[in-house]
A and B are shown apart, each in its own frame.
Chain A
Amino acid sequence: MKIKTLVSALALTGATLVAVPSWAADTIKVGVLHSLSGTMAISESALKDTVLMLIKEQNEKGGLLGKQIEPVVVDPASNWPLFAEKARELISKDKVDVIFGSWTSVSRKSVLPVLQELNGLMFYPVQFEGEESSKNIFYTGAAPNQQAIPAVDYLMNDLGVKRFVLAGTDYVYPRTTNKILEAYLKSKGVPEKDIMVNYTPFGQSDWQSIVSQIKNFGSQGVKTAVVSTINGDANVPFYKELANQGISSEDIPVVAFSVGEQELSGLDAEPLVGHLAAWNYFQSVDTPENEHFIESWKTFKQDPNAVTNDPMEATYIGFNMWVNAVEKAGTTDVDSVEKAMIGQEFPNLTGGTAVMNKNHYLSKPVLIGEIQDDGQFETVWETDGTVAGDSWSDYLPSSQNVIADWTAPIHCGHYNTVTKKCSGEN
């Protein structure tokens, strides 16, 4: 056993490409571009397994267009330029018909030019900062108006919060989201002095002085909340420090956009109880579809404690919409599928129906949950219906008048509604 693990460890260290047995000649190939090693492996490897599970289920149902679907899994190893190389390899060498992949925005930005050059098709399943729309990408994760803005609305209207700490990790997603949030808060009449913005490096582990600053900021007699875009495992010491300094969720609630069931499974949820998260999906939502999905995931992983999360649901919706679009178009040709995708509807795991809009973003419901001591969320608030993803934020001066519309006659990812011009940007 030990030798076996050692050997597989060595094999993994060296290998960048996970070998996939070759299927019979006529198959539909699906590329899976998620990091299986490096820092992002924690989050991304679950999405790789989700795609593999969905493909397996689809094949059991008889495949697609009478053919079997064949997964091609590559490992971009949390290395952003490698994402572009691997995408090129998938499209030109492996001739895949579609790619499911990427987690961080920087990896998506790295793949984007390759997709456009080779006219590939990719589904991106993670919540992100928006401000992008490409003909070759479908964004099934939440845009800021489907996660951040409803969360802030909830804080203001339901919890009566008047002061905001915008705390984030120092990279593009938190910076853009916080810029949008700051503009939004100001438009709602929150004065500059009641907004505190703080950025920390990746993997920050010493939160003492920042938490004590937040404590000071929050103890001026006005209800305060933290809006957290802190990424990855830096969250654990952050919440621990909050608990240690005696800040409870009733005093200063933290609403997070990057803390999901997967992240909570790796830590003691006790100090986090009562803090909030905003997502489009929670594992705890009780619907027959969700129950079935969780059951098949646990069976597929052969782990009774395996958890599901929001990006997995986004992958699930993206994959099924792609299958339906291919069936509708009768071909896997990128241009035909892209046309067939717009207007696709598919039931959410949390109830209701997701719709693919003209800007390649989904309409989805928004949920806010309180963290429970078992690492699950208790939904405390949700939007009445679905919210359509806004590709170019209305709250940033630079993108106020910009929309994306991939249908005729506009057919543009960056269309200025005032000057009636398409800039050609993505």
Chain B
Amino acid sequence: MRHFLVLLCCLVGLFSSPAFSADSTTSHSLSDNQAPPALAPLMLKLTQEKYSKLLPVLKEIEANSNETTASLFRIMMQGDLYFIKTNKQLVQHFKDNGKDLYQGIFSQKVIADVTKRSVTKIKVNNRLRGYLRTAIARIQLTSASAEIRLSAVQELLSNLDDDTVAMIEALYSSETNKDVKAEMGLALAINTALSTELPNSTRIAAIHRLSSSLENTVRNKLTQLTNQDNPAIKTAAQQALSSISQRTERFAFLNQLFFGLSLGSVLLLASIGLAITFGVMGVINMAHGEMIMLGAYTTYVVQLMMPNYIDYSIWVAIPAAFIVSGLVGVLIERLVIRHLHGRPLETLLATFGISLILQQLVRTIFSPLNRQVASPSWMSGSWEINPVLSLTLNRLYILAFSLLVFMALVMVLKKTSLGLNVRAVSQNRNMAKAMGVKTDWIDAITFALGSGIAGIAGVALSQLTNVGPNLGQDYIINSFMVVVFGGVGNLLGTLVAAFSLGIATKFLEPMTGAVLSTILVLVFIILFIQKRPKGLFPQKGRAAE
């Protein structure tokens, strides 16, 4: 979780709101401090130099800097540092309710009458950004918060120059926090292992110390050492490397497994609605993908309507997408599919036509361009368990969400009277009718349920992929594949099929490439269906025709 915070403060979407810069990652007393007087001429220089010549200026600022002025660097790294054209005052840009506002760097007070036209941006490129990142870390080494110090040391691991090592060495003995001290020790050990003027025994001890770490930098440095002439160091480094790689391989396997589960969850979400309309009702619905697309577009519209509450928009979008796609589903069922009952070929053609109409409708209303759906901040980034294993949060949430939806659906089918009726109609329509079940009504409800769930899948997919008119087409084939592979009419089969196909694809991919792995999986399914036409879990009993 600590790593996750590091990530938040250093890399990912630093939202340009003042609220963010006031939280724990920045200094606690920004508003009370003014810029140190030594900085004033340097800050003026920032506004005058071309950005290819900014690096020396920044280095001078760093030399005169304390933790408070680190905020200057942070604002600059985010690309929010501007200056007012007339008096060359540096200001921080932020957006409030879609309006561009500018505030003093240290005072944090909004400066009135400053508009987009009266300011110029101080540009940053990758080289400057890289420098700023390590500079912020160096300044933060003396931070009061252990959390920040730890992230600073981790950031500096890959950039250990003499100055940095000297800084860490000076701070090491006075460090009180256990984790930070360990991380500093690691940094010093890297330095010791690399310094050729030290005696072998000291260096080998340092190498042993390194073998317990999974950090990438450590592996790189050890690899460097294995290429050296000194035989004792070479063997020690090789031993350390092999013990590290044993552990990383295990984590790499777990990572791969997670990728597979995540792909499986996407397949599950996309196909679970189809498992109902196709599996339970027997309707070949080629417009299923468009139901997913409508769900994704609903998310987009919901976000348009609540631009200031993106973080919560998902919770509104899920029921909204269910309702929109469900309603369209009912319409399709009432107007088209009902009249084609028992004629699968006509149903297939009619629903294919509907899918084209829906696509073009969306193209006309929303334009053929993809729409931009923002990810809530709590879904961005990843959960770094250790330097080798990190799980991306959006996929983690979607995995949990897909299982939740699956469970809810099973509950509805198994425990409610609606579910009982649905199962009755799907097993024997005439008998159910004779028992007083309104089969017509049940058909409509079932189709609405399947379409609505497709809509929910659209909400989840909008977080992973493009929201455009063709979104549905990308998933329709996979959905049919999963349902047929799992066994038509069997929800558990859909679950197992989705996850096994997901895992198989992801384990094949690194070996064969993305194109071939898809082909191999398809070939496997064709062969499997040849052998077992009814899928993994065929429906048994008299009811199954």
Contact = CB atoms under 8 A, between A and B. Distances in A.
The answer to whether A and B come from one shared complex is yes
Interface in A304-327: none
A237 B514 contact: no
Which of A13, A159, A210, A249 is the most central at the interface, judged by chain B CB atoms within 10 Å of its CB?
A: A13
Contact of A200 (B13, B470, B514): B514
Interface stretch (B122-130, B452-460, B534-542): B122-130
A244 B371 contact: no
A250 B216 CA distance: 16
Interface stretch (B165-173, B336-344, B389-397, B411-419): B389-397
Nearest to B395: A208
A380 B372 contact: no
Majority secondary structure, B binding face: helix
A9 B361 contact: yes
B220 interface: yes
A304 B259 CA distance: 42
Interface stretch (A34-42, A114-122, A417-425): A34-42
A245 B468 CA distance: 24
Interface residues of A, number: 56
Contact of A13 (B221, B256, B357, B515): B357
Interface stretch (B38-46, B81-89, B374-382, B421-429): B374-382
Contact of A236 (B221, B466, B518): B466
Interface in B114-155: 123, 125-127, 129-130, 133
Interface in B200-223: 216-217, 219-221, 223
A236 B216 CA distance: 27
Interface in B486-520: 506, 509-510, 513-515, 518
Nearest to B370: A266
A66 B11 CA distance: 60
Contacts of A212: 255, 259
Nearest to B371: A266
Given A199-B513, A246-B7, A274 B224 contact: no
A365 B216 CA distance: 40
Interface string A360-402: 0000000000101100001010000000000000000000000
Interface in B1-16: 7, 11-13
B360 interface: yes
Contacts of B369: 42, 265-266
A6 B360 CA distance: 10
Which of B266, B466, B470 is the most central at the interface, judged by chain A CB atoms within 10 Å of its CB?
A: B466
A236 B360 contact: no
A155 to B, nearest CB: 11
A233 B468 CA distance: 9
Given A221-B220, A250-B129, A270-B13, 14 more contacts: A9-B365, A12-B363, A201-B514, A209-B256, A209-B510, A237-B464, A243-B11, A244-B381, A248-B11, A250-B126, A253-B126, A267-B372, A274-B125, A372-B79
15 contacts: A5-B361, A12-B364, A200-B515, A209-B510, A210-B509, A212-B259, A219-B216, A221-B221, A236-B465, A237-B464, A246-B11, A246-B384, A250-B129, A274-B125, A372-B79
Nearest first, the 8 A-B pairs at minimum CB distance are: A221-B220, A205-B465, A266-B370, A250-B130, A244-B392, A208-B259, A9-B364, A233-B466
